[in-house]
Chain A
């Protein structure tokens, strides 16, 4: 192993605390659903969902970088794993969600009536 054999226990518990706080905030917001967040949109997605998405990505970052110890790997491995993932996921989401919205519009506005 290239990295030193020092104990990371302190960092592990810090990250655990952070992930717990984020989860508690998410659940509290999910139960309360504050109206001003839930009913105001930003680029087609309401503010509450933006908060959920951002908090989830923060959690994902800490799981990958701290727990999976990606921060201890070489930059080349980090980028080889993370860049394809980010690019393909954004691409896939963009294509499928745009298409899903289009299908919705077709059934809502055109003469074809959707029964199911």
Chain B
């Protein structure tokens, strides 16, 4: 428009001229501000997790008792090791990404292709690992019982080792048919029934005098409180539901919100990793086709690199907040 006169009128401000606010190209600067806003979104989630955790500080699940699975080591709890592996995969894929950017600066196409390929592989391994961890989390390992008051009771032997419901629950001659939509009067169904009923757990508990109830309450030594046998019997009378694994309503690990936050935060992060992989694949093919070779600039690799490092950065915080603290 002619009526608007600025010092740069007529020039292409970001497209070709020297005018680069803060010394960064348009795309790179906008990527930085997108990352800033996304970082604040994640901060909001993690702060909300912190809020709920402080609210239930005496009953929150202990992470190193929840995430103990490692491939091929079934029944042999390995706290943390698998998440540590995932962290290394992501850090390493960050390294290959930064090597790809570095090779791009020197216009070495073959090296960019190699490093970008490795980055994509790393990303896929990470997403796959996360899916595996979700599977274990949803399936659960020991099972627990929810009381009428809504608190969760887990079972341990006299040495304090966790005991699975399957190890002691009795089998009673009772049938409880699952309600499915084709049997309902209206479009009614229900969540899949747990393997044992409350009565079976209670009967099994009576038959095994060496089993005790462990409550959610964290004692002065930062361990979950184990009740005496008589207290255990008293608490188990209030049992109302058998909980196996985890869903958005309840989970066998403890506070109901714990699973919600786990699904939401690691899910949102996993979605970021997934979209990062997709974007990396697109850029990978562009590099193969020589798009950036013709442009004489691999800045696009640098920009997706920024996003990819950001995904790694978020994981560093999720790792600390969810698994370490």
Contact = CB atoms under 8 A, between A and B. Distances in A.
Contact of A67 (B39, B53, B98): B98
In this complex, the interface size class of chain A, counting residues with CB under 8 Å from chain B, is 35 or more
Contact of A5 (B55, B58, B106): B106
Contacts of A81: 32-33, 35-36
A97 B54 contact: yes
Nearest to B56: A104
Interface in A85-116: 85, 88-89, 92-93, 96-97, 99-101, 103-104, 107-108, 115-116
B128 to A, nearest CB: 20
Contacts, number: 150
B309 A68 contact: yes
B149 A64 contact: no
A80 B23 CA distance: 12
Contact of B316 (A2, A59, A89, A104): A59
A105 B104 CA distance: 56
Nearest to B57: A104
A14 B309 CA distance: 17
Contact of A56 (B149, B221, B320): B320
Contacts of B29: 77
A99 B51 contact: yes
Nearest to A2: B23
Given A56-B316, A74-B24, A80-B22, A30 B48 contact: no
Interface stretch (B87-95, B186-194, B201-209): B87-95
A23 B87 contact: yes
A93 B325 CA distance: 15
B300 interface: no
Nearest to A7: B102
Contacts of A53: 320, 325
A93 B54 CA distance: 11
B105 A5 contact: yes
A30 B64 contact: yes
B91 A23 contact: yes
B312 interface: yes
Contact of B55 (A24, A66, A100): A100
B158 to A, nearest CB: 23
Interface string B66-106: 00000000000001110010011001101101110110011
Nearest to A38: B222
Contacts of B84: 23-24, 27
Interface string B24-57: 1000010011011001100110011011111111
Contacts of A39: 221-222
23 contacts: A1-B299, A7-B105, A9-B102, A12-B95, A12-B99, A23-B84, A23-B88, A24-B84, A30-B324, A31-B80, A38-B222, A53-B320, A53-B325, A56-B319, A63-B94, A63-B316, A68-B309, A73-B23, A81-B36, A85-B36, A85-B39, A93-B43, A116-B151
Interface of A: 1-2, 5, 7-9, 12-13, 16, 19-20, 23-24, 26-27, 30-31, 33, 38-39, 49, 52-53, 56, 59-60, 63-64, 66-69, 73-74, 76-77, 80-81, 84-85, 88-89, 92-93, 96-97, 99-101, 103-104, 107-108, 115-116
Given A13-B95, A30-B323, A77-B29, 6 more contacts: A2-B23, A7-B106, A12-B102, A81-B33, A96-B48, A97-B50
